[in-house]
Homo-oligomer: A and B are copies of this chain.
Amino acid sequence: MLPHNCHKMTRPSLLNFFCAGNRTIELLCGRASARRPHSSHTMRSVASRPASGFSPSKVAVVTKTTRCEFEQQRYRFAGLSEVDLKQLLAMKGSSYSGLLERHTIHTRNVEHIVKSLEKEGIEVRVVRRGEYDEEVVRWADAIISAGGDGTMLLVASKVFSKDKPILGVNTDPERSEGHLCLPVRYTHAFPEALERLQRGDFRWQWRQRIRLHLEGTGINPTPVDLHEQQLSLEQHHMAHRITTLERRRESGAQDDSFSEPNLLPVRSLNEIFIGESLSSRASYYEISVDDGPWEKQKSSGLSICTGTGSKAWSYNINKLVEQSVEDLLKIGKSQTGLDIPLDPGFVEKVTEEYNQSLVFSPEDKRLFFSIREPIVNRVFSSIRPRGFAKKVCVRSRCWDACMVVDGGTSFEFNDGAIATISMSDDDQLRTVVL
């Protein structure tokens, strides 16, 4: 419940200001990491030893926006004082000093990275995630993501060359998981990481990524950045959609250009989600797997992931909880009369083995698709609800749908739009395994 002082605190401006407050940064950045299960870095397993060391001369360091920076932006936006902010945070069970502390830790870790690079005579550009663009990518020999997995995904999304290495440094290891980042010890010992890079004492890992072709109608080729930290992402989202719809009314060029397959300017490291934008609405679409027949589907959307993403959202869509496994084993036991054990230890073991079977290598050249909460009725056919594929084609029958790349970049995907989802070695992301 709310603290007693909350009634005193219900000044509208403060409330508006705070409405979307707590956990925001995590919401914006944390999905990828948060959605990953406990599990060690598969990066270590499969990778290739470089011929020689790697000594970049120009490195871009892309930094996340801390929750503290975000709240400060917002209270300035709402014209509030720092005192207001402190009270509001207290009201929500957060503390301003706590945010400041996390912010300081992040900043210190970024400084550590930058100093270590400069010490080696490397030219460094520190770039806020909002300022990160193609020009920065072109300039740099290598790009370091300084934040969590969310920042790493954003950094990767703008890199199209398989020769441009990406490193992730988790700048708040106590708070975020950072499965896509280097082992946390290098956060505080970055010179050691650099030295190993220069010595060649590391491995390259080329992570497979997904490419998207769009054709047909009902398409809006301009992506919406869900990372963007505005007061309401939906406002931004809508504003965006309205303007592009108006553009269409004025000229059909955009749609004409999209009547033929178009390769979208983004690559997915984790997964593509296709479905109605509103989470409470069912999605209608047709799907063809590996050039098989088109089948009508109705479900809570569709997920198509890489090996990297098989530990992220796709894992949470498909994993089983021990509760279900136990109930299922009970049924199996009663129906067979066999002495199937039901002790917690066994249930846990079976659950773990099942869930681990959902994870595959980041270098695997296959996609894994999951029809989410499939709706089976006489109208809709029962294609296998999930599986590996080389290529998945989806035709939207949706009303107000999107195609979301790594939970961060969203494309309109309405009735008449057709997406072809595949992998190409040209899209591999060059990452480092220490």
Residues of A within 8 A of B (CB): 1-2, 6-7, 10-13, 15-16, 18-24, 26-28, 30-31, 33-38, 91-92, 177, 215-218, 226, 232-235, 237-238, 241-242, 245, 248-252, 255-256, 259, 273, 275-282, 284, 298-301, 313, 316-318, 320-321, 323-325, 327-329, 331-332, 335-336, 338-341, 346, 349-350, 353-354, 357, 373-379, 384-386, 397-400, 402, 404, 407, 410, 414-416, 418
* Complex-state Cα separation, A111 to B16, whole angstroms: 50
Interfacial chain B residues near A235, Cβ < 8 Å? 238, 241-242
Q: Which of B327, B346, B373, B398 contacts A316 (CB 8 A)?
A: B373
Interfacial chain B residues near A407, Cβ < 8 Å? 280-281
Contact B277 A321 (CB under 8 A): no
A21-B416 contact in complex given A273-B279, A336-B341, C-beta closer than 8 Å: yes
Interchain Cβ contacts under 8 Å between A and B, 28 examples:
A15-B248, A18-B217, A18-B416, A19-B217, A21-B416, A22-B397, A27-B282, A34-B379, A35-B375, A92-B415, A177-B377, A232-B238, A233-B400, A237-B278, A275-B280, A277-B277, A279-B279, A318-B324, A320-B328, A321-B374, A321-B385, A328-B350, A329-B332, A331-B350, A331-B353, A331-B354, A335-B349, A338-B338
* Complex-state Cα separation, A340 to B331, whole angstroms: 12
A7-B256 contact in complex given A12-B249, A338-B338, C-beta closer than 8 Å: yes
Interfacial chain B residues near A15, Cβ < 8 Å? 217-218, 248, 252, 255, 416
